[in-house]
Amino acid sequence: MQTRNPSSFAIRLVAAILAVAALAIGKEFFIPIALAFCFHALLRPVVRGLEGLRIPAWLGATAVVLGALVVIGGGVWALSGPVGTFLERAPASISKAQAKIRAMGRPFQRVSDAASGQGPATAAAPPSQASAPPAAGSAPVPPLLATLLGRGTLFVTGLLEVLILLYLMLAAGGTLFRKLVKVVPGPDDKRTVSDVLHETESIVARYLLVTAVINVAQGIAVALAMWAIGMPDPWMWGLLTFALEFIPYLGGAINVGLLLVTAFTTFTSTGAVILPAALYLVITTLQNNVISPYAYGGHLKLSPLAVMICVMFWWFVWGIPGVFLSIPIAATLKVLGDQVPRLAPLGELLGE
């Protein structure tokens, strides 16, 4: 009877822990590379098509990267005005939202105080002091702006790194994949690596493209819904929906939070305050359960539980970029599990 070697399991466990630690510590190095590979899978067919028109790979890569810069710049410009106004009003909006939430919770607080034997005077005194709005120019604004400026600088630096890596990968044409296949020994292994690379590229490109199309439709639906109920800057909410929906789970939660904060400062009744977030959740639920299964078809055969665990893991390791990359990484691991016999358990765990 064959027994499992405990020392071998311990070595694998230690190796896995060290690998996760290396990914977390070196995230500034790994994240731009992972993002560049992800967008390479999306844009490589475009460069390949330009090569078919006798346009050199470096020139096609230049056109594609410049086009991506124009799209990103246009999105930032379209969002800069409404988002800037939103950020200027953010401290006052959050203060008003907190005051309204406290006012909505006063009946429950009175019931709780009555149950604990406290008098009404004791429960009524603190809200009047706590609900006073902060004075103009108070402390919350500078730290908020400083944090946003710091994160904005990091975002621009990371974006430049990704674009440079993406250009170099695209300009190399098919050389990168050919070299990866060439270093693998054995004809069978070469065929396996080639199949894995091409299938991964196809799945990731299809996922990003389909997600972009779905997000455009969802953004338009959200913008029209916000316009219909009188929310300020409805098209800003449409653009935010398009951008944030690329981040599974977390993007939707951020959007709901922003909608609630804005609704608290725009509307007075409780129903009107809840309505924007409720409409967004209805549109998102329909998209996730009706449109997405049909749009993705059988190409993205990932278990919802596995996707959730991947999202949580990569959020823990790499933060928001990790959440964006979680599904492409899970799809890549699923392809490896399907193509490599030794990794078959991994494909079984990730599959539907």
Encode pLDDT of 173-208 as tens digits: 777 778 777 777 777 777 778 888 888 888 888 888
Encode pLDDT of 58-100 as tens digits: 899 999 999 988 888 887 787 777 666 666 666 666 676 666 6
The tokens describing 304, both together, are 């919802």
Residue-level pLDDT at 107: 62
Q: How far is it, in rounded angstroms, from Cα 169 to Cα 65?
A: 11
Encode pLDDT of 253-309 as tens digits: 989 988 988 888 888 887 888 999 999 999 999 988 888 877 776 666 788 888 889
Which residues, at least 6 apart from 119, have a Cβ–Cβ distance to it below 8 Å?
A: 113
Rounded to the nearest 5 degrees, what angle is found at the Cα of 261, between the Cα atoms of 108 and 225? Answer: 110
Residue-level pLDDT at 5: 63
pLDDT at 142 exceeding the cut of 90 = no
Encode pLDDT of 306-340 as tens digits: 888 999 999 999 998 999 999 999 888 888 888 88
Q: How far is CA 308 from the centre of its chain?
A: 13
Residue-level pLDDT at 143: 53
- Whether 304 and 289 have beta carbons less than 8 Å apart is answered as no
32 pLDDT band (50/70/90 cuts)?
Answer: very high
- By percentage, how much of the chain surpasses pLDDT 90? 22
Rounded to the nearest 5 degrees, what angle is found at the Cα of 126, between the Cα atoms of 125 and 127? Answer: 100
140 pLDDT band (50/70/90 cuts)?
Answer: very low
pLDDT at 217 exceeding the cut of 90 = yes
Encode pLDDT of 221-246 as tens digits: 999 999 999 888 888 899 889 988 99
Q: How far is it, in rounded angstroms, from Cα 175 to Cα 94?
A: 52
Q: How far is CA 345 from the centre of its chain?
A: 27
